[in-house]
Chain A
Amino acid sequence: MIILEFALITFLIVCAIAFTFSKRLLTSVIIFMAYSLIMSIIWLIMESPDLAITEAAVGAGVTSVLLFLALKKVNALKGKKDE
């Protein structure tokens, strides 16, 4: 179990660093989704399933969709204008 926790936290840190260093905004949003998913599993391990459900639904689902829509509004999904 401890190995799983360390692996998850390592993934979390890798996601957080990759999130800031990715050039494309679309990639950033997808990494953000992965971050939220890992975070929800960590909440589950830390015995707070309420937060896990909310994190998975809001963090990985709704927020990402809203960010995708915002990127579409500013024409950043095609991969040309974003940086």
Chain B
Amino acid sequence: MSNSNYNKDKIPSTHSKAPWNAFVGWVNGDTPEDKFEKPELYQAPKQSHDAHNEESAVQQTPMPQAENEQEYNTDHTEQGHFLLKEKFTKFYKVYIVIAVIIGCFVVGILAYAVCCLPPYGYAENPVNNEVSEKYLEDGLEDTGATNAVAGMILDYRAFDTFGESTVLFVAVIAVTMLMKRSMNKKDEEGERLVAHETEIDKKDQNLILKYGAMILVPFIILFGVYVILNGHISPGGGFSGGAIIGGGLMLYAMAFGHEKISKIITYRSFTVITSCALLTYAGCKAYSFYTGANHLGGDIPKGIAGAILSGGFILPLNICVGITVAFTMYGFYSLFSKGDI
């Protein structure tokens, strides 16, 4: 109560200082108990207002204070709601105008920048410098990969790709921490929800989804494997192929439920396989550092360019990245939908 009195004395009845006073009250240890007392304090001037209905001129003075108090403890009364609503509608009107102005400004800057860009595909553009020349000319000889992009990201810049895979792995760890249901502590609400959903899944004969998945999933996963294995020959690579396989696994889990897929992918196998793939990648990269950090495995035979078994370390690295990405994508889906892998 003392805190309320303090506020009553200190709060000036100007509109603009209310957030500052709210902040001061918060700093001074404004507990929720105080908040419950506030409506009473607010009621008092209102009742007096009702009593002396004629002397409206005198009554104007407590009202701003009441307004202040209302802003101070946000709501709980209808009038407070109304005042807040009014305030927010005012705010949104200004907000829309400012948003449109800023949007036009940014669009103008971007349009101007687009006008200053060099023409598309022009030979003397600044992108056509000696770095890309080096990659395009010596890439096939250095890396043994027909696909210049794969040669670049998995040989010249393999360390970057390792970082990307690790970022995905860390992301799935974070999602596991957030979403995974605890093994020891039985979460009854979650259990009931999952049981309910599996029952719905069993009852619901989603024929279009099931038959569509039955036809599509093998081809999707096969295409993903093809994209990974041909990453150094044709466009594609570990990340794209892994994402395709992950999409196929998600479709399978969506159509046939989690029970079937959890026979193959359990939480344990998920962690083991993903970690092993990342560790293999790290081992290859460590070997490259050990041999002088010029290329990834400089003394590995390159093979004939264009064959599957060529390109030195690129094929196993593609497989590692693909496994990591596929399992990560499926892990995201599984954790989001079921809370478990």
B244 within 8 A of A: yes
Query: Looking across the interface, which residue of chain A has its beta carbon closest to that of B254?
Result: A65
Contact among A57, A66, A73 with B243 in the assembled complex (CB-CB below 8 Å): A57
Residue among B149, B240, B247, B332 having the largest count of chain A Cβ atoms under 10 Å: B240
Chain A positions within 8 Å of B247 at CB level? 57, 61-62, 65
CA A61 – CA B217 in complex, angstroms?
A: 13
A53 within 8 A of B: yes
- Report the interface size for chain A: residues with CB under 8 A from the other chain: 14
CA A65 – CA B243 in complex, angstroms?
A: 13
Comparing B29-37, B134-142, B231-239, B279-287, the segment that makes contact with chain A is: B231-239
Q: Which of A33-83 contact B (CB under 8 A)?
A: 49-50, 53-54, 57-58, 61-62, 65-66, 69-70, 72-73
Chain B positions within 8 Å of A73 at CB level? 336
Chain B positions within 8 Å of A62 at CB level? 243, 246-247, 250, 329, 332-333
Contact among A57, A66, A69, A72 with B240 in the assembled complex (CB-CB below 8 Å): A57
Q: Which of B283-304 contact A (CB under 8 A)?
A: none
Query: Looking across the interface, which residue of chain B has its beta carbon closest to that of A60?
Result: B247
**Do residues B236 and A66 form an inter-chain contact, with CB atoms below 8 A?**
no
B337 within 8 A of A: yes
**Do residues A54 and B332 form an inter-chain contact, with CB atoms below 8 A?**
no
**Do residues A66 and B336 form an inter-chain contact, with CB atoms below 8 A?**
yes
CA A49 – CA B239 in complex, angstroms?
A: 13
B323 within 8 A of A: no
Chain B positions within 8 Å of A58 at CB level? 243
Chain A positions within 8 Å of B22 at CB level? none
Contact among B236, B254, B332, B333 with A53 in the assembled complex (CB-CB below 8 Å): B236
The interface bits of chain B over 177-207 (1 if a CB of A lies within 8 angstroms of the residue's CB, else 0) are 0000000000000000000000000000000
B227 within 8 A of A: yes
The prevalent SS among residues of B at the interface is helix
The interface bits of chain B over 227-262 (1 if a CB of A lies within 8 angstroms of the residue's CB, else 0) are 100000001110110011011001000100000000
**Do residues A50 and B243 form an inter-chain contact, with CB atoms below 8 A?**
no
Residue among B243, B244, B333 having the largest count of chain A Cβ atoms under 10 Å: B243
Chain A positions within 8 Å of B333 at CB level? 62, 65-66, 69
CA A69 – CA B336 in complex, angstroms?
A: 6
Chain A positions within 8 Å of B236 at CB level? 49-50, 53
Query: Looking across the interface, which residue of chain A has its beta carbon closest to that of B243?
Result: A57
Chain B positions within 8 Å of A49 at CB level? 235-236
Q: Which of B109-166 contact A (CB under 8 A)?
A: 149
CA A49 – CA B149 in complex, angstroms?
A: 10
Residue among A50, A57, A61, A73 having the largest count of chain B Cβ atoms under 10 Å: A57
The interface bits of chain B over 299-339 (1 if a CB of A lies within 8 angstroms of the residue's CB, else 0) are 00000000000000000000000000000010011001100
Whether A65 contacts B244 in the complex (CB less than 8 A), given A49-B235, A53-B235, A70-B336, comes out as no
A-B contact pairs, 17 of them (CB 8 A): A49-B236, A50-B235, A53-B240, A53-B244, A54-B239, A57-B246, A61-B243, A62-B243, A62-B246, A62-B250, A62-B329, A65-B250, A65-B254, A66-B333, A66-B336, A69-B337, A73-B336
Q: Which residues of B contact A (CB under 8 A)?
A: 149, 227, 235-237, 239-240, 243-244, 246-247, 250, 254, 329, 332-333, 336-337
The 6 closest A-B pairs by CB, nearest first: A49-B235, A57-B243, A69-B336, A53-B240, A61-B247, A54-B240
